Amino acid sequence: MAADLQNDQKSTTSGTTGLIALFTGNGKGKTTAALGLAFRALGHGHRVCVIQFLKGSWKYGELDAAERFKPLLEFHVMGRGFTWKSEDLEKDKEAARNAWDFAVKTIKENRHELIILDELTYLCRYQIIEEEALLSVLKNKPATMHIAITGRHASEALIQQADLVTEMREIKHPFQNGIQAQKGIEF
């Protein structure tokens, strides 16, 4: 399927201004919004790379869907799980730093039209990486590459550097009524 998309809709980047999109806030939907961008980009035959910094080995629906879009879509789950449930915070931080190094390398290689850095904001928030390093990488990214960043607690400096910022605000969530996370909605 993905090969057909690639052959039928060749990616063109001439005239493209690479944007930085930021999806932040306490509400649900940040990763979902970024994956919506990925789906749109794939529809145009663009190459997309998703790098997840905190999510671990839990089974997510998007992982199965990603298999259907190879080779246009690369999906890298590089975390060990959510840090507030960690049994070894130092190993979590090391995995996140390794994911950051991989992200920097992937951006510099310039093989993708869109790179999604899922839950990246936490790395700065918890001082796993220096915010200045993140801002420098974004400033020096390839000119036609789009980068989408997700996560709560985006800093003012990151908000200022982004071209598109959407804040997800929680108004109501089914968990408040005792409804647990459901397949196809939360994962």
Looking at residue 60, its pLDDT comes to 74
Do 91 and 80 touch, CB atoms closer than 8 A? yes
Looking at residue 7, its pLDDT comes to 38
- Cα torsion angle, 182, 40, 37, 132, sign: positive
Nearest to 96 by CA among 71, 62, 130: 130
- What residues of the chain score a pLDDT lower than 70? 1-14, 56-59, 81-86
**Catalytic residue ranges:** 26, 28, 30-32, 40, 82, 84, 119
Looking at residue 13, its pLDDT comes to 46
101-120 tens-digit pLDDT: 999 999 999 999 999 999 99
Residues constituting the chain: 187
DSSP-derived letter for residue 105 is H
Domain limits, the chain:
18-168
Q: Where are the beta strands (DSSP E) in 12-61?
A: 20-24, 48-52
CA gap 162, 179 in Å, rounded: 35
Do 70 and 84 touch, CB atoms closer than 8 A? no
DSSP-derived letter for residue 175 is G
Helix (H) or strand (E) holding 118: strand 114-118
CA gap 153, 2 in Å, rounded: 35
**Strand pairing partners for 149?**
22, 117
> Amino acid identity, residue 117?
L
**In this structure, which CATH number among 1.10.10.10, 3.40.50.300, 3.30.980.10, 1.10.510.10 belongs to the domain 18-168?**
3.40.50.300
**Strand pairing partners for 22?**
149, 165
